Amino acid sequence: MGYPLPPGNCEVQGALIAEGAVIGAFMAPLNSTTADAVASSGTISTTKVGVARVSPTAAVTGVILQPGSTYGQECWVINEATSANSVTFAASATSNVAGGTSVVIAGAAAAHFLWDAYTNLWYSVQ
């Protein structure tokens, strides 16, 4: 049994591909090449990455997670900053994150999100 190829946000390593499906492979999400110094009301890009790295220079609020491109898309957000420099999302209608302002990523922590194309929101994976 094969699995459909992901939409541009994974790297397939050691793959056997048959009829457009991956069979018996390890898929590693692509990382953003830099840790963006996201600011308050700034946007975290999810374009062609499965791991979005950020490093705010202070605690930031009102942050937006760029909408996903396909149902079931996954994205890790890693906050590489010190523990005091947290990332707090804007209200869900603005941030595209279910839970909105209650979703906070502390410095030196990460959060895993799953895109729901029916609600147009990222959901935190617990």
Q: What is the pTM of this model?
A: 0.78
Mean per-residue pLDDT, 30-37: 78
Q: Which residue spans within the chain are E strands per DSSP?
A: 3-4, 10-13, 16-18, 21-23, 26-29, 43-44, 51-54, 60-65, 74-79, 87-89, 104-105, 109-116, 121-124
pLDDT digits (tens, 9 = 90+) for 54-104: 999 999 999 999 999 999 999 999 999 999 999 999 999 999 999 999 999
